[in-house]
Amino acid sequence: MRYIQRYLPSGYIDMSAIIDEPDLPFKFLWGGRGTGKTFGALEKAKRIHEATGNTFIYLRRTEIQLKEVMKPGNNPFKELNSIYGWNIQPMKHKDYGLCFFDCEEDENGKLKIKNQKPYGYLMALSTVGNIRGLSYSDVSLIIYDEFMKMPTERTMKNEGFAFADLYESVNRNREMAGREPLQVICLSNANDLANDIFVYYHLVDRVEFMIKNNKMQYLDYGRGFALLRFDDSEISKKKQKKNLLNS
């Protein structure tokens, strides 16, 4: 039986091993707050771009969430920029729309795009109907951040269908042309296990079985789905304990 290595020796998620696992284009990761899911996925996307020139899509559920990401203090690359000395910023481009670009400051200290080729595109699932007919053949990975809604968030109508439609619009039967299929990695700290995407792909029963039997991963190579839980993260447990002590 095959398993994916979920953690690095440091205790953080081994996102490179997860994304590189073949024959599983749909990967769903949830639980384990503070374990480096978004950090690792964006770092891997950057490395893929450097090696192949391929770009990625950074996806959020709603346009409101996307607008928050565009604010300097909420840049998903903020920590990566600090650690590696990068300056990857979300910017609006007249041709590409909302994208992540390599940036620099001009003589007035204002950010400007240094390299006109984007690392990735920013999108909201609630408005993906706008991309129909457009080509994203350069995209090899979709990072869907916080794909499970929080209890305070509204349910989006036909969310599972919208997600599947986005995938097909970007993928465009690449396998028929001898190319690798588009990869999607969906990340969440929330535990809305009856979310519309799981319902759409008939995964709810499998997820419930995993929880009931304390299984941390389920790999379906026939359908191309990987379900990965991180409720057993030692880093997350330590952070929760620290928060309780400080409350």
Tell me whether strands 139-145 and 183-188 are parallel, antiparallel or unpaired: parallel
The tens digit of pLDDT for each residue in 103-116 reads 998 888 889 999 88
Number of other residues whose CB lies within 10 A of the CB of residue 7: 18
Provide the H-helix boundaries in the chain.
15-20, 37-52, 63-69, 78-84, 159-171, 196-200, 204-212, 234-246
The tens digit of pLDDT for each residue in 177-195 reads 889 999 999 999 988 889 9
The tens digit of pLDDT for each residue in 199-226 reads 999 999 999 999 999 999 999 999 999 9
The tens digit of pLDDT for each residue in 52-74 reads 999 999 999 999 999 999 998 99
Segment 141-157 shows an average pLDDT of 91
* Of the candidates 232, 147, 153, the residue with the CA atom closest to the CA atom of residue 188: 147
Mean pLDDT, rounded, of the chain: 92
Q: What is the pTM of this model?
A: 0.93
Work out whether the CA dihedral 240, 242, 244, 247 comes out positive or negative: negative
